[in-house]
Amino acid sequence: MNLIEWAQSPWGGQIPIHISWTLLWVFAAAGVLFLVAHAIYVGFFAKSGAVHSTGGAGVNVAQIPEHVARHSFGSRTFHAIMALSMLALLFTAFLPKVGVQFPWVTYHWIAGIVLTISVIYHIIHATFVLDFWSIWPDETDREDAVRRFRRALGQDAPEPRKFAKYPLENKLYHMIVMLAGLAAIGTGLFMMKRVRTPFFTRNPYVFSDMTWGWMYVLHGLAGVGFVALVTVHIYFAIRPEKFFITKSMIFGWITRENYIEHYDPLRWPPVAEDSASGSADSKKVSA
């Protein structure tokens, strides 16, 4: 199967022009197969009971607030705008490929500009306001991943510790989305030079045909990759055991019970959420 569409240049050479649209169905099927396999595993094979040790020894649990702040208003707003623009990009990119015709190019680059601005905001916000390193894997994540893998194989291993704010799987997913998103945004901004917009003077000759071709290939791979990534993300967002995290992206907080069950106060110190104003108090729970 040829995964790249090729064309002949005026000089007789072969140049790439896009990915094969067969990959759209491959990645869509991969996303669906993943969620089906995961649902079967959780429903029939996953072991019940605690999957991690108590963690947070010495922390005064009584001081943990009823509502623990998880996502600020700025973070929730970014996530909503990013999600809507991403869905708009996917619909405008792929609906024409399945026969739904409309002036998709204009809507596509507008959604791309919205996504780009939101990502720039997120980078600045995460760097200077949020805990930048909380989303990156650390040594504890790696140790606990090995423990969970060994226990899943039936081997003896210490119990994994409770999570920090973001479990390892969230951090790895974030890294994949980041790479795919930067690839789509970077190539998409250059590709706007090939269409008429208020932002750029149209100039399809700024790159060679070969460079444009590989740019379209990379943009297409990022696009079909997001089909699978978004499918998986929505699946986990609506799973009953994960739904409290989805609610926190709407309301900004999780309950004390969810926090005690899943998180280690020493790895993620809880901050009380002012439910009236949506702002987080600065006072953290002390050990």
Contact predicate 238/246, CB 8 Å: yes
For the cut 70, the answer to whether the pLDDT of residue 98 exceeds it is yes
pLDDT tens for 186-202 read 999 999 999 999 988 89
Q: What is the end-to-end Cα distance of the chain in Å, rounded?
A: 59
Q: Which residue has the higher pLDDT, 284 or 216?
A: 216
H or E element that contains 66: none
Instruction: Report the CATH superfamily, name and number, of domain 18-36+58-284.
Output: Transmembrane di-heme cytochromes, Chain C (1.20.950.20)
- Mean pLDDT, residues 118-140: 95
What are the boundaries of each domain within the chain? 18-36+58-284
pLDDT of amino acid 53: 56
Q: Where residue 49 falls among pLDDT bands split at 50, 70, 90?
A: very low
pLDDT digits (tens, 9 = 90+) for 236-284: 999 999 999 999 999 999 999 999 999 999 899 999 977 434 444 334 4
Please name the residues in contact with 9: beta carbons below 8 A apart, sequence gap of 6 or more: 15, 209
**Which candidate, 233, 226, 272, 278, places its Cα nearest to that of 76?**
278
pLDDT for the residue numbered 235: 97
User: From CA 238, how far away is CA 235, in angstroms rounded?
Assistant: 6
State yes or no: pLDDT of 87 exceeds 60: yes
Can you give the pTM of this predicted structure? 0.88
SS3 at position 231: helix
**Share of residues in the chain with pLDDT > 70 (%):** 91
